[in-house]
Amino acid sequence: MPITVSSATIGPYWHLLDDPAMADMTRFGVVGEVIEISGCIKDGGGNLVTDACVELWQPSPSACEVFDGFGRCRTDNGGQFKFKTVKPGATPGLGNAQQAPHVALTIMARGLTKSLVSRIYFAGDEGHDTDPVLYLIADPIRRNTLIAVQLDPGVWFIDISLQGPNETVFFDI
């Protein structure tokens, strides 16, 4: 018999989305290559999602008193989100596998009964060919929905599509 997991709204902490410090993952003084990760979220009809809560979870560097590895923000009227963090490094996977540098992404929004979970990798980083998660996505077009492009030094951007022909890969967890 399959196990079902109920969902909950993101409240009562929605007000934290209005605090810009929550999107600055460097706020406690972490040292490293500071980067910006931004993106645009669209629904299946190509409409901007202007009321989403976006969370970023980062496995590298390890969490400590100057880096908790977590950020949260809302999308603006243009469907955009933006985080300031440090560039992650490769992390151990299962067995001897190394995971390419990435961050985990969670999206909560009106109309979603469950949070959507995905990853963001960085174009040009080594390890994409051997990353155990990317390896599971056979279609290179689908795999590319997880790859952010570099717009300027230290500035990364990704389009997120919740449904449709360009749907971003989301994980069933």
CB-based contact 40:80 (threshold 8 Å): yes
pLDDT in tens, 35-61: 999 999 999 999 999 989 999 999 999
Which two tokens mark 34?
Answer: 């500071």
Using a cut of 0.85, tell me whether the model's pTM lies above it: yes
Residue 76, pLDDT > 90, answer yes
Q: Are 159 and 39 in contact (CB under 8 A)?
A: yes
Name the pLDDT band for 16 (thresholds 50, 70, 90).
low
Residues in CB range of 136: below 8 A, 6 or more apart: none
User: Averaged over 153-166, what is the pLDDT?
Assistant: 96
Burial category of 75 from C-beta neighbours within 10 Å (exposed 0-12, middle 13-18, buried 19 and up): buried
Is cis: bond before 88, omega within 30 of 0? no
